[in-house]
Amino acid sequence: MTAVLVAGLLAGYGIAMPVGAVATYLAALTTRTSLKTGAFAALGVATADGLYALIAVVGGSALTPFIEPVMLPFRWASAAVLVALAVRGGAGALGAYRSGAAASPADRAPLTPARAYVALLAITLMNPMTVVYFAALVLGSGAVAAAAPAHRAVFVLAAFVASASWQLLVAGGGALLGRALTGSRGRLVTALASSTLITVLAVRLLLPSS
pLDDT of the residue at 121: 94
Q: Establish if 198 belongs to a structural domain.
A: yes
Rounded mean pLDDT of 144-160? 80
Banded model confidence at residue 42, pLDDT cuts 50, 70, 90? very high
Q: Are 181 and 82 in contact (CB under 8 A)?
A: no
Rounded mean pLDDT of 174-202? 71
Banded model confidence at residue 102, pLDDT cuts 50, 70, 90? very low
Domain of 164?
2-204
pLDDT of the residue at 84: 81
Q: Establish if 210 belongs to a structural domain.
A: no
As a whole number of angstroms, the distance between CA 197 and CA 210 comes to 20
Q: How many domains would you assign to the chain?
A: 1
As a whole number of angstroms, the distance between CA 120 and CA 162 comes to 17
Per-residue pLDDT for 46 more than 90? yes
Tell how far CA 49 is from the center of its chain: 9
Mean of the per-residue pLDDT values of the chain: 78
pLDDT of the residue at 77: 78
pLDDT of the residue at 172: 92
As a whole number of angstroms, the distance between CA 89 and CA 198 comes to 10
Q: Establish if 209 belongs to a structural domain.
A: no
As a whole number of angstroms, the distance between CA 43 and CA 165 comes to 9
Express each pLDDT in 64-92 by its tens digit: 666 667 667 777 876 787 788 778 777 87
Q: Are 47 and 125 in contact (CB under 8 A)?
A: no
pLDDT of the residue at 148: 77
Q: How far is CA 169 from CA 13, 40, 47, 61, 110, in A?
A: 12, 12, 15, 31, 22
Judged by DSSP in three states, 137 sits in helix
pLDDT of the residue at 107: 44
pLDDT of the residue at 103: 45
Task: Work out the end-to-end distance of the chain between its first and last CA atoms, rounded to an integer number of angstroms.
Answer: 36
pLDDT of the residue at 68: 65
pLDDT of the residue at 67: 64
Banded model confidence at residue 210, pLDDT cuts 50, 70, 90? very low
Query: How many helices and strands, by DSSP H and E, does the chain display?
Result: 9, 0
* DSSP category for residue 205: T
Express each pLDDT in 2-25 by its tens digit: 878 888 888 888 888 876 778 888
Express each pLDDT in 50-63 by its tens digit: 998 888 888 765 66
Helical ranges in 100-148 per DSSP H? 105-108, 113-125, 129-140, 142-145
Q: Establish if 22 belongs to a structural domain.
A: yes
* DSSP category for residue 210: -
Per-residue pLDDT for 34 more than 70? yes
Q: Establish if 37 belongs to a structural domain.
A: yes
Task: Write down the pTM of the prediction.
Answer: 0.72
C-alpha atoms less than 13 angstroms from C-alpha of 2 in its C-beta half-sphere: 0
